[in-house]
Structure 1
């Protein structure tokens, strides 16, 4: 017996096709911005820009994973969400290490480069967020994609604020503080994704459990 009517199946297939196309677009945007920000971050000596660049890289990898499991079973999608949640948590830990390094070395980044690249990154992430808005309340895998993009927009605004702070104070502390905030966002987002993914894995296990006959 079919699991849905022909109209419903066609609608689901069309929605999946649209989501797949959106994922390819945001994957391209994030891969491009990773290259732009990693070069600019290293050139400017900005911990916030370097952290944001690695965030773009992680997002591009996450979108690739989402494309791979799209249309698969709940177990596969939840498993992919676990991988993405773990990667976000590791990103947060890496940023904390970067913050400590820059604080100890007293790095003063180039505020003008931070401002220009931050504006470009904000525009890129705002476009991704708008494209993904329709799928913000999906399963753990879809929600993880939305959370990543939402956090990216907040992080870009913080990078711009850090650029103004570096310009105004002549120190690297605003850059360091923003990088620390980005680490907190990554860890918080990772916890949310991991929690929902584990719930979906338990649901899948319960739904597929074989009853014991007595």
Structure 2
């Protein structure tokens, strides 16, 4: 019946693929933009956020491969996403330490301008993914990735304001380190949910 309230599986799968492709393309563009801006502005926060976008793009690609597949494949896809995110978070923390030892003061205005654009992109992607976050552990992983990005964008904007107000680079380093720690935390959450999903699928 047309009014049963049930979802058409084929339409659901097509909708998931469409949203993931949009998210993948947007994040790939923002990775290039934020990464370049971070290098130009000497901002650990922007570079961290840009690399986080790259991690998201990888997660969306993995989730695309899992759409329409079995529960075990989806759990394994989420595990791969979690490992990617964990490696990314640890890499961000290493970069912050490197910049603390030897680095130039960042450009606060560039940080704010680029992060406002990134926030608009991530808020849009988060809204699109929200409708599918309970449709499988692989899709929930992508939603968590994007939620991390929104928090990171807000943090970089705040650090940009602090850099402009104080002229000190430590605010940028603190935010970069905070993003790294948050990314590690979310990676561990994804891995935990993927492990639970794998147990259910296998057992």
Runs of 4+ in 1 over 2 A off after TM superposition: 7-10, 136-139
The answer for unaligned runs of 5 or more in structure 2 is none
Residue 102 of structure 1, CA deviation: 1.1
Moved more, 30-39 or 128-137: 128-137
What's the counterpart of residue 151 of structure 2?
154
Q: Which residue of 6, 25, 43 corresponds with 1:46? A: 43
Instruction: Pick which of 18-27 and 101-110 moved more.
Output: 101-110
Q: 1:99 and 2:74 equivalent?
A: no
Please give the alpha-carbon distance, in whole angstroms, between the structure 2 residues aligned to 1:190 and 1:138. 19
Normalization by structure 2: what TM-score? 0.94
Counterpart of 1:85 in structure 2 is 82
Indicate the RMSD between aligned Cα atoms, in angstroms: 1.4
Separation in 2, partners of 1:114, 1:143: 29
Distance 1:166 1:136 in 2: 36
Query: Do the aligned partners of 2:42 and 2:103 also contact (CA within 8 Å) in 1?
Result: no
Note the alpha carbon deviations across 1:105-126, whole angstroms, 9 max, x for none.
1431011111110111111111
**Which structure has the larger Rg over C-alpha atoms?**
1
**3-state DSSP of counterpart to 2:8:** helix
Paired position in structure 2 for 1:142: 139
TM-score by length of 1: 0.90
1:1-214 matched pairs, under 5 angstroms: 11-206=8-203
Structure 1 spans left out of the alignment, 5+ residues? 1-6, 207-214
| Inter-partner Cα distance in structure 2 for 1:173 and 1:107 | 11
TM-fit CA distance, 1:133: 1.1
Q: Which residue matches 1:209?
A: none
Moved more, 9-18 or 132-141: 9-18
